[in-house]
Amino acid sequence: MTIPCDIMVFGGTGDLALHKLLPALYHLYREARLHPAVRIIALARSNLPRNQFLKLAERRCRAQIARADFDEDVWARFSARLDYFPMDASQSADFVRLARFLGEAGGLTRIYYLATAPNLFVPIANHLKIAGLADHDARIVLEKPIGHSLESATAINEAFGAVFAESQVFRIDHYLGKETVQNLMALRFANALLEPVWRNNQVDHVQISVCETLGVENRGAYYDRAGATRDMLQNHLLQLLCLVAMEPPAQFEAEAVRDEKVKILKALQPITGQDVQDKTVRGQYSAGKIGGQEVPAYYFEKDVDNDSDTETFVAVEAHINNWRWAGVPFYLRTGKRLAKRSSQIVIQFKPVPHRLFDGDQANQLLIQLQPDERISLQMMTKTPGKGMRLEPVELNLNLAQVFGQTRRWDAYERLLLDVLEGDSTLFMRRDEVEAAWAWIDPILNGWQEHFQAPRPYHAGSNGPDQAHSLLAHQGRAWHL
């Protein structure tokens, strides 16, 4: 069981709070990982009475939590710990009311979860301070996106830095809470076998793909301002790249891990000038079919501008300027409304130095995060019978088979528990976020300067043709 605390969720009636955070907190409560006296207080503008909020929370949690895990008694006890406080986070006076509502901290740790628009981050930091709510024990959880550029991210970090110590700030990237993502660290740093081949003399290239079938759902207004680059590439994909490419840390603890990650971000070769056109592809989906269902073009989605040029797909060829990775392309891509949901990392090894057999193919390590958690190594083997006919066969590590079909923790459960335990290993440090923006900004600016409109792709396809050419002209192809 963790510390006695109050958890305040700004954006408490938003999608993230209702769809992810409350179900995660319910699971933690059910497993007795939360203090029984915990208070979870949703903060939002609408003037909802508490019982209406409870009805909304229950409806959304029931829809999200598997039936077998939804225990009526536990829910009754959990919901008694839930509360709702109407306030406008841009108004300083509302924080004074909040302070009165919360009462004396008296040994409780206050956790503020900012699941709200990033333009409210700076006012919230200042108002918490003025209202006397920012004591030394408080913890702040910042949801991505942290800003929309290096400048705005720095302003947010400055504002929180003026009020809280860095150790009190937890910048969340839910990809770091995923089981297979952590397994990637186990795979790399607990298996000496891989280390000698995990470098440019053996690796031809790396692919990191997060492909979604989903569109923008109810988040059109946010997404149309963000686009795939700010929404996914700046954070989730770059975090995955860091874990693939970083050097082994001296200890598995927050500062050591984050020191290594930030070195990778700083070693990323800037994409500027002509490279913006040669090494990046932005796309936007047009109407198409997914799973037999017609879906509209992006610009017809709810709350999206009719002549929007926001990208819903991005692919980039990145390079890391260090000894281990010099010369190895890292191809990153992510997009919405693609043919299938699949998040994966592919380490493509080089072919054997001298070929003895026809038909042999280079080894490939596949780390699949979604939809199934799977790690598999493609090896060449001889087919039975006369003659040396070779075929690639997979050595499979199917985690569901090995560890059984027990309920998998959601990334938010693990990360919320880490916040309660004060462990920031799986959270982004200030310099990481800023280094990521410093690499992304020139790409975004380059697109603007060259009026590089997004390339259309049909919903249900594998993205724009140009994304395929990005690899094809180097004799490579995306792993599908």
Give binding residues as ranges.
Answer: 45, 144, 174, 178, 212, 231, 336
Centre a 10 Å sphere on the Cβ of residue 366 and count the other Cβ atoms it contains.
18
Q: Is 236 a catalytic residue?
A: yes
**What would the x/- binding string for ligand BG6 be over residues 344 to 383, using CB under 6 A?**
--------------------------x-------------
Nearest to 142 by CA among 100, 110, 106, 113: 113
Active-site choice (127, 236, 319, 458): 236
Provide the minimum distance between the beta carbon of 231 and ligand BG6 in the complex, in angstroms, as a whole number.
5
Provide the minimum distance between the beta carbon of 331 and ligand BG6 in the complex, in angstroms, as a whole number.
18
Q: Which residues are annotated as a binding site for substrate?
A: 174, 178, 212, 231, 336
Q: Would you say 178 or 319 has its CB closer to ligand BG6? A: 178
**What would the x/- binding string for ligand BG6 be over residues 203 to 222, using CB under 6 A?**
---------x-x--------
Q: Would you say 236 or 279 has its CB closer to ligand BG6? A: 236
Please, what is the angle between helix 72-79 and helix 50-64, to 10°? 140
Tell whether residue 301 is a contact of ligand BG6 (CB under 6 A). no
Tell whether residue 311 is a contact of ligand BG6 (CB under 6 A). no
**What would the x/- binding string for ligand BG6 be over residues 409 to 428, using CB under 6 A?**
--------------------
Q: Would you say 128 or 315 has its CB closer to ligand BG6? A: 315
Using CB under 6 A as the binding criterion, the count of chain residues that bind ligand BG6 stands at: 5
Q: Would you say 83 or 212 has its CB closer to ligand BG6? A: 212
Q: Would you say 231 or 373 has its CB closer to ligand BG6? A: 231
Contacts of 252 (CB under 8 A, 6+ apart): 185, 189, 425
Q: Would you say 6 or 212 has its CB closer to ligand BG6? A: 212
CA distances from 108 to 30, 39, 240 (A): 21, 10, 35
Contacts of 47 (CB under 8 A, 6+ apart): 86
Tell whether residue 231 is a contact of ligand BG6 (CB under 6 A). yes
Nearest to 242 by CA among 268, 269, 203: 268
| Position of minimal CB gap to ligand BG6 | 231
Binding region for ligand BG6 (CB under 6 A): 212, 214, 231, 343, 370
Active-site annotation, residues: 236
